[in-house]
């Protein structure tokens, strides 16, 4: 029965606030935001808990002109009275805020919500509390700049089991994002008896205008600042590249900043003694090399053939050329690279990369090598 009475009183309070707000000038700001701050929590005497300070998190999102949905989380540690024990206290709630009319740049609002209250002493037992709760409160917001605001509110929190009623005072800072719910039409504003000052004629009253020198004719957001559609830090009126993605760094004209990057691809294929056939184990490496050449279509490559020192110079020279030509054929015939982009040269045994005194060294020297290096312009990332 007590919970029903609380709900009835809360509904009457909200109705009263709604009715009174209609009598004021139609100026308000209902914006999506996420906040962090501190909470000073005052316990009902029946709780047997000392009042305590903790941290608070909050999220708010507009639903209609003046209404928004809000969620808050309080967490704190509280000492148990007449005891050395300490309790973990958490309160999670979700509810609705109704935005009243601004008063000299201050945005008041009223709220109602429901949540879960948990009180867990360090010594577990019958004193653990988990109960549903209803809260009602008043709050106020004040913009610091275009994206940040201060907010504070006071809530009465009514538990449903012991009839206890707590209260909480919060103070925090919030980051504003997204679009605010639509304010009344210009016609409704002109119908108001008082003239609203708007020095830059952007449709946003000076009392809420964070950018009072907006250029004439430019679209502005709910706080009177020019719109930056692609969110690159350059407003639309000065953005020569209006579709820049958010992950790219831009210059003063809103266009991506280009920088030179080096791209390099290497290919090395080894051969059996006195052989020039390409072994299948190198197929994937040759394919990767060909794909690099396809991506950078202005590149050419020289394939260099080599041998170990066994055999005559003339024989090794011819063998090194056959090896280079074998890899060239793989690139051209199997991977579709244009023949005029691939040339070959044989060096015989003249350029070893390892000793020719061991089997392992000679195996290293029986090879082809190819390298492509290219400079490309890339868009710098943030």
202 touches 223 (CB < 8 A): no
How far is Cα 360 from Cα 377, in angstroms, rounded to an integer?
41
pLDDT at residue number 197: 81
Q: Domain range spanning residue 83?
A: 2-177
pLDDT at residue number 181: 46
Residue ending a domain, choose from 127, 161, 177: 177
Mapped onto helix, strand or coil, the DSSP state of residue 195 is coil
pLDDT at residue number 2: 46
Residue 93 CB neighbours (<10 A): 23
pLDDT at residue number 21: 46
252 in a domain, yes or no?
no
Same domain for 156 and 267, yes or no, is no
Same domain for 164 and 275, yes or no, is no
Mapped onto helix, strand or coil, the DSSP state of residue 299 is coil
**Distance linking the first and last C-alpha atoms of the chain:** 59
Residue the block writes with tokens 């709604």: 18
How far is Cα 78 from Cα 53, in angstroms, rounded to an integer?
8
- Residue-wise pLDDT for 8-23, tens only, equals 455 545 545 444 444 4
348 touches 315 (CB < 8 A): no
CATH of the domain at 122: 2.40.160.20
Pairing status of strand 301-306 against strand 32-42: unpaired
Q: Give the total number of structural domains in the chain.
A: 2
Beta bridge partners of 82: none
Q: Which helix (H) or strand (E) holds 320?
A: helix 313-329
Alpha helices in 176-237 (DSSP H): 186-191
303 in a domain, yes or no?
yes
**What's the token pair of residue 217?**
């004719």
198 in a domain, yes or no?
no
Same domain for 23 and 164, yes or no, is yes
- Residue-wise pLDDT for 289-342, tens only, equals 999 999 999 999 999 999 999 999 999 999 999 999 999 999 999 999 999 999
64 in a domain, yes or no?
yes
Same domain for 26 and 155, yes or no, is yes
> Can you point out the beta strands (E) in 81-159?
86-99, 107-121, 129-143, 148-159
How far is Cα 222 from Cα 226, in angstroms, rounded to an integer?
10
Residue ranges for the chain with pLDDT beneath 50: 1-8, 12, 15, 17-25, 181-183, 188
144 in a domain, yes or no?
yes
248 in a domain, yes or no?
no
Residue ending a domain, choose from 111, 146, 177: 177
CATH of the domain at 330: 3.30.1330.60
Residue ending a domain, choose from 132, 149, 177: 177
How far is Cα 110 from Cα 16, in angstroms, rounded to an integer?
11
**What's the token pair of residue 343?**
């040339």
pLDDT at residue number 25: 45
How far is Cα 11 from Cα 32, in angstroms, rounded to an integer?
24
How far is Cα 334 from Cα 340, in angstroms, rounded to an integer?
15
């Amino acid at each position: 029965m007590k919970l029903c009475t609380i709900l009835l009183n809360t509904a009457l309070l909200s109705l009263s606030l709604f009715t009174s707000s209609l009598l004021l000038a139609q100026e308000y700001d209902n914006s999506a935001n996420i906040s962090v701050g501190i909470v000073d929590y005052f316990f009902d005497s029946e709780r047997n808990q000392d009042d305590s300070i903790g941290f608070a998190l909050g999220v708010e999102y507009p639903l209609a002109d003046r209404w928004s949905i809000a969620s808050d989380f309080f967490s704190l540690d509280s000492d148990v009275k007449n005891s050395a024990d300490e309790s973990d206290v958490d309160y999670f709630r979700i509810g609705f805020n109704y935005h009243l009319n601004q008063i000299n740049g201050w945005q008041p609002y009223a709220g109602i919500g429901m949540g879960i209250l948990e009180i867990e002493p360090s010594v577990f037992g019958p004193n653990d509390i988990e109960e549903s709760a209803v809260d009602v409160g008043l709050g106020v917001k004040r913009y610091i700049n275009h994206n940040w605001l201060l907010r504070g509110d006071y809530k009465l929190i009514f538990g449903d089991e012991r009839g206890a009623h707590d209260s909480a005072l919060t103070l925090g800072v919030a980051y504003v994002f997204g679009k605010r719910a639509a304010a009344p039409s210009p016609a409704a504003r002109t119908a108001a008896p008082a003239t609203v000052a708007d020095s830059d004629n952007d449709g946003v009253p000076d009392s809420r205008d964070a950018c009072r020198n907006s250029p004439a004719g430019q679209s502005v957001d709910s706080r009177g600042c020019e719109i930056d559609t692609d969110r690159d830090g350059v407003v639309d009126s000065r953005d020569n590249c209006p579709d820049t993605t958010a992950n790219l760094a831009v210059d003063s004209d809103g266009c991506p900043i280009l920088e030179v990057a080096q791209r390099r691809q290497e290919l090395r294929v080894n051969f059996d003694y006195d052989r020039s056939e390409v072994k299948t184990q190198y197929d994937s490496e040759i394919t990767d090399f060909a794909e690099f050449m396809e991506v950078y279509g202005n590149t050419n490559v020289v394939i260099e053939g080599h041998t170990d020192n066994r055999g005559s110079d003339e024989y090794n020279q011819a063998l090194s050329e056959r090896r280079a030509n074998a890899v060239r054929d793989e690139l051209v015939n199997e991977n579709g690279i244009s023949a005029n982009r691939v040339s070959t040269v044989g060096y015989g045994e003249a350029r070893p990369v390892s000793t020719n005194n061991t089997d392992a060294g000679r195996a290293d020297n029986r090879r082809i090598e190819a390298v492509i290096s290219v400079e490309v312009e890339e868009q710098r990332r943030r």
